[in-house]
Amino acid sequence: MNRHHRQRRGEVRGALALAWLLLAALLGGQPAATAAEPPVLRVGVLSGSAPCSDHTGNRWSGSAVELWNRLAIEEGLPFVFEARASASSLLAATAAGELDVGVGCLNVTPERIGRYRFSLPFQETGLAVLVKRDRLQLGQAVLRSLLAPDLLRLLGGYLAAIGLVSVLLWVVEGPQQLRDGQGHRRGFAKVFQILATGPGTNTIASTTRGHGLVIVSYLVRIVTASLLVTYITINVVEEPRASGARPLRSLQDLAGQRVAARPGSVSSASLERINASGTAEPITIVPLPRVQESLQLLADDRADAVLADDPQLEFLLRRSGNRQLELVLRNQQSESQAFVFSPQLDPATEARIDHAISRLKQQGVVAALRREAMNKS
């Protein structure tokens, strides 16, 4: 009896399924399983922005591309890539609904927030300035730092302090004891040299007060040495990198120079904002189709500097190994970076993408992808 009932239920289910298929065919529809398949997303990618996103050898690569691939696989989102040459064209195409998602390290600026829908930010970075420095300019900058009044005053103060301690030691220990068969002048010069350099201080003092003065000279030496190391690090090693014919300590110091930047990028907008302020000589903005072309622009003297994202220029320097190029400004105008969404993108899909970004950031995947992209040769 039970077997008979099961057979009857099976026949009923089969009849219902056949009726559903016939109804769908008559109405021109599709079966429910086919309708539930997710749509193929049109994903625009910014090219020429290594190590973030780039297209070489018919293959997309970069930290942002790998992040998208990872989350699309985990979330089961089918997609096709479409190349875009600039950040402005990628943003415009996504906002117009020509693309569903724009993938790249797109800066979330205050001006863009009101016009575009961004994903959850996945990293933060800033701008950098790349310049060409020849050895003559670098040598001149170092020489200027070494002859700076601050360094001369520091050295003069040290010599004056050691001279004072030498005089006190000469008085405390007595000239007869310290000159050691030499004249007064040579004896004092020997005491001064020992206290200034260190070796031999255990041989010039015999009294308690004399040993105390030797300790004072030791303290003067180590304090002055610390100050010298700090000064040399800042003004002789780091400062010449931001110096030359014209010092570069901020983006405003680029006034009057030829600066290459990608059209429609945050870098180009920053230069235009400086020009619009009217506070300095205008900057000549040289179009930069791809960041990789920065080396040739500087080598051919078609630009005095290049302004782009810090990781892009650092990656370019690592790959080129060119020691005549330097990053003189780092992490300027630090901002968050994210993907961009079309206004027509399904909110559920948008939420899945944001959730995947958050999860991959928490798992350390985003940081690992960035390190991997930066270390590629």
CA distance 310 to 369: 16
Contact 122, 361 (CB under 8 A): yes
Beta bridge pairs of residue 101: 43, 341
Query: Which of 164-168, 187-191, 230-234 has the lowest average pLDDT?
Result: 230-234
pLDDT for the residue numbered 348: 94
Predicted pLDDT of residue 2: 42
The tens digit of pLDDT for each residue in 161-173 reads 988 988 888 888 7
One-letter identity of residue 257: Q
**pLDDT for residue 60:** 92
Compute the mean pLDDT over every residue in the chain, rounded to the nearest whole number. 82
Which pLDDT belongs to residue 135? 58
Give 7-20 as a DSSP string: HHHHHHHHHHHHHH
**Homologous superfamily of the 39-123+337-375 domain (CATH):** Periplasmic binding protein-like II (3.40.190.10)
Average pLDDT over residues 207-225: 86
- Which of the pair, 88 or 324, is modelled with greater confidence? 88
CB neighbours of residue 119 within 10 Å: 21
Q: List, as one string, the DSSP characters of 200-251.
A: TGGGS--SHHHHHHHHHHHHHHHHHHHHHHHHIIIIIIIGGGG-SSS--SSG
pLDDT at position 38 is 77
Region for residue 321 given its phi and psi (left: phi exceeds 0; alpha: psi -120 to 50; beta: otherwise): left
Q: Which residue, chain included where needed, has tokens 């907008």?
A: 269
2-39 tens-digit pLDDT: 444 434 444 434 444 444 444 444 434 444 444 457 79
Residue 177 in tokens: 């004891």
Q: Which helix (H) or strand (E) holds 145?
A: helix 135-146
CA 290-292-294 angle, 5° bins: 90
| Tokens 């031999």 sit on residue | 200
Hunting for tokens 């691939």 — which residue is that? 69
Contact 332, 346 (CB under 8 A): no
The β-bridge partners of 267 are none
CATH fourth-level superfamily of 130-134+247-335: Periplasmic binding protein-like II (3.40.190.10)
- Per residue in 312-327, pLDDT (tens digit) is 999 998 888 877 888 8
254: nearest Cα among 269, 276, 274: 274
Average of pLDDT values for 338-363? 96
In Å, how far from its chain's centre is CA 112? 21
Q: Indicate the SS3 state at residue 114.
A: coil
pLDDT of 195-204, one tens digit each? 888 887 777 7
Residue 310: is its pLDDT beyond 80? yes
pLDDT of residue 16: 41
Alpha-carbon torsion angle 246, 249, 250, 252, nearest 10: -30
Predicted TM-score (pTM) above 0.85 = no
If DSSP states are collapsed to H, E and C, what string results for 156-213? HHHHHHHHHHHHHHHHHHCHHHHHCCCCHHHHHHHHHHHHHHCCCHHHCCCCHHHHHH
Q: Coil, helix or strand for 266?
A: helix
Confidence at residue 370, expressed as pLDDT on a 0 to 100 scale:
92
Q: What is the pLDDT of residue 115?
A: 92
Q: What is the pLDDT of residue 272?
A: 93
Residue 121, pLDDT score: 95
39-123+337-375 and 130-134+247-335, same CATH topology: yes
- The SS3 call for residue 49 is strand
3 state SS of 4: helix
For the segment 233-242, the average pLDDT, to the nearest whole number, is: 57
Confidence of residue 53 (pLDDT cuts 50, 70, 90): very high
Extract the tokens encoding 4.
Answer: 């008979």
pLDDT top residue among 117 and 49: 117
pLDDT at 59 over 60: yes
pLDDT score recorded for residue 364 = 94
With contact defined as beta carbons under 8 Å apart, do 99 and 341 qualify?
A: no
CA 11/CA 317 separation, integer angstroms: 72
The residue ranking higher by pLDDT, 153 or 248, is 153
- Which pLDDT belongs to residue 187? 73
State phi, psi for 103 to the nearest 5 degrees: -110, 130
Q: What is the pLDDT of residue 138?
A: 56
- Choose among 268, 302, 299, 298: nearest CA to 285: 268
Length of the chain (residues): 377
Interval 120-152: pLDDT, tens: 999 999 999 999 875 555 566 667 666 778 788
pLDDT in the model for residue 141: 60
With b for 16 or more beta-carbon neighbours within 10 A and e for fewer, the 167-204 pattern comes to ebbbebbeeeebbeeeeeeebbebbbebbbeeeebeeb
> Domain segments of the chain: what residues?
39-123+337-375, 130-134+247-335, 141-240
> Can you tell me the distance from the alpha carbon of 107 to that of 308, in angstroms, rounded to the nearest whole number?
12
Confidence of residue 41 (pLDDT cuts 50, 70, 90): very high
